[in-house]
Structure 1
Amino acid sequence: MQLFVQSVNFNADKDLIQFVNEKVEALEKFHDKIIDGEVFLKVQQTSEKENKVTELKLSIPGHHLMVKKESKTFEEGISLCTDAMKRQLTKSKEKERIVH
């Protein structure tokens, strides 16, 4: 799977990028036909503590799945996103199984 990580309004360090890659690549266990993925890490200019926005988009044959979470840290955000994406991938795979 090809993965694109983009940080908006800040520069992501190597450790964060590596963490994102590991978490997203682990999703391949739940769906074997993931084509590619995009992760957007954004810092919102607000006074709230939960100002880190993490978006995860995955392409599978015939569908694009997306999850967006706000959190205090990007690590927490990517964990929330991958958990939610696991559920979407599992549902998608079950629907695929029913159709075939």
Structure 2
Amino acid sequence: MDIKVNSVNFTADQKLITFVNDKVNKLQLFFDNIIASEVFLRVDKDQEKENKLAEIKILIPGKELFAKKQCKTFEEATDLAVEALRRQVRKHKGKLVD
């Protein structure tokens, strides 16, 4: 799977990029036909406490799945977005089996 990580309004360090790549790669355990994914990490309004935004889009044959979460840290937002995508992937996979 091809993963692109984009950081908007800040420069992401290698540790954060590695964390995001590892989390998104785990989606392949649930569905191995994922073609590519694109991750946007964004800082929203600096004075707010929960200002870290993670948006993840994955491409699978015939469909595009998307999740967006906002939290205190990028790691937490990424975890929640990946979990939301995991549910979407399992639901999609269930429809394919039926």
Report the TM-score, using the length of structure 1 for normalisation: 0.96
Q: Note if 1:75 corresponds to 2:70.
A: no
Counterpart secondary structure, 2:41: strand
Unaligned runs of 5+ in 1: none
Letter in 2 for 1:28: Q
Counterpart secondary structure, 2:49: coil
**Structure 2 counterpart of 1:27:** 27
CA distance in 1, matches of 2:92, 2:77: 22
Instruction: Give the length in aligned residue pairs.
Output: 98
CA distance in 1, matches of 2:40, 2:25: 15
Segments of 4+ in structure 1 off by > 6 A?
Answer: none
Report the TM-score, using the length of structure 2 for normalisation: 0.97
Counterpart secondary structure, 1:12: coil
Q: Note if 1:93 corresponds to 2:60.
A: no
Counterpart secondary structure, 1:20: helix
Letter in 1 for 2:51: N
Letter in 1 for 2:23: K
Using the aligned pairs only, state the percent identity: 51
Offset, 1:45: 1.8
**Structure 2 counterpart of 1:41:** 41
Offset, 1:76: 0.3
Offset, 1:46: 4.4
CA RMSD of aligned residues (A): 0.7
After superposition, where does 1:7-18 map in structure 2 within 5 Å? 7-18=7-18
